[in-house]
Amino acid sequence: MEPTNNESSQTGNCKKDSRCGRRRWIKMPFFIAGMLLVKSALVMWLWNLLVPDLFHGPLVSYLQAIELTALVKLLVGFGGGHKRFGHRGHFMKSRWAAMSEDEREKLRAEFRGQKTDSKE
């Protein structure tokens, strides 16, 4: 007996079933909330371990650690800009590949601080 669409989705075949993507998005808020709670527990533990002894600061509660974690995320960012420098490297590689040998030598000399004879 061949499986129907409903049976194939239960066996783990997510390529043909569009509901698998929806399941992933439904789980995402719970994953984010769980990570926030774990990070907040780590922040509270580290704060209460270090700050009172080093800076004579107060102890923080778990709720204050959650608020501190959220504040740091808002101020520092959410980590989405890691590919910024890779894009510039790709741009320079394509530019370097498009240069002639004379243009490359001229650019190398400029980087080394040497004077070049420009014939233009």
Residues 99 and 59 in one domain: no
Average pLDDT of the residues in 64-91? 77
Report pLDDT for 52.
Answer: 95
Residues 49 and 88 in one domain: no
| C-alpha pair distances (Å), 38 with each of 65, 73, 112 | 10, 14, 50
Residues 56 and 16 in one domain: yes
Report pLDDT for 85.
Answer: 52
Residues 39 and 93 in one domain: no
**Structure tokens, 38:** 């774990």
Report pLDDT for 119.
Answer: 54
Residues 104 and 57 in one domain: no
Q: Which of 114, 95, 117 is nearest to 104 (CA)?
A: 95
Residue 96: is its pLDDT beyond 60? yes
- Structural domain including 3 reads 1-78
Q: Which distant-in-sequence residues (6+ apart) come within 8 Å of 36 by Cβ?
A: 66, 69, 70
Average pLDDT of the residues in 34-38? 93
Residues 61 and 85 in one domain: no
Domain count along the chain: 2
Residues 71 and 88 in one domain: no
Report pLDDT for 9.
Answer: 45
Report pLDDT for 24.
Answer: 82
> Do residues 65 and 41 make contact, with C-beta atoms less than 8 angstroms apart?
yes
Q: Looking at per-residue confidence, does 55 or 90 come out higher?
A: 55
Residues 37 and 61 in one domain: yes
Residues 18 and 38 in one domain: yes
Residue 18: is its pLDDT beyond 50? yes
Average pLDDT of the residues in 105-113? 85
Phi then psi for residue 89, to 5 deg, are -65, -40
Residues 86 and 71 in one domain: no
